[in-house]
Amino acid sequence: MDEELACGKFIKRISEELRKNANNTMRSQNMTMAQLEALMELNRAPEKQLSLKELEQNLHVAQSTAAGIVVRLEQKGFARSFGDASDRRVKLVGITSAGAECAAAAQKDMLAVEDRLFSGLTRTERNIFRALLEKICGGLS
């Protein structure tokens, strides 16, 4: 492959920088990236709750992994799970106020890191970059 077209090394470097910053921030809160992603999914949900199946699909993880994440979030007081009143087979997961606060703080931290990371780009360049990333990710499905 032509060296000018080899984008993988740049994507890897950006990913590593984002992961490093996220891990440093989350370590102080005794959180993992998977747990934070789950909180953010719950916080974005219309009623601040999702079925375990929906959470599993949104996170692109196995049911057992999603269930483990929920258990750990419940232990930390960030989420609660309960049965659906209309269908007892469905397990619902809701975010607590402490979980919502954690998700909001994490979102703020993530935006600050992205601002620093992309400080060399104009607003237009950032928008183009985001649009291209969305297009690439859309092609992965």
Looking at the predicted structure, is the pLDDT value of residue 33 above 90?
Answer: no
pLDDT tens for residues 87-112? 888 899 999 999 999 999 888 888 88
Query: Which of 55 and 7 is assigned the larger pLDDT?
Result: 55
- What is the pLDDT averaged over residues 72-76? 96
- What is the pLDDT averaged over residues 61-80? 96
- As a three-state string, the secondary structure of the chain is CCHHHCCHHHHHHHHHHHHHHHHHHHHCCCCCHHHHHHHHHHHHCCCCEEEHHHHHHHHCCCHHHHHHHHHHHHHCCCEEEEECCCCCCCEEEEECHHHHHHHHHHHHHHHHHHHHHCCCCCHHHHHHHHHHHHHHHHHHC
* pLDDT grade for 66, boundaries at 50, 70 and 90: very high
Looking at the predicted structure, is the pLDDT value of residue 3 above 60?
Answer: no
* pLDDT grade for 5, boundaries at 50, 70 and 90: low
Query: Which of 76 and 11 is assigned the larger pLDDT?
Result: 76
Looking at the predicted structure, is the pLDDT value of residue 57 above 80?
Answer: yes
Q: Is the pTM of this model over 0.85?
A: no
Q: What domains sit in the chain, N to C, each tagged with a CATH number?
A: 9-115 (1.10.10.10)
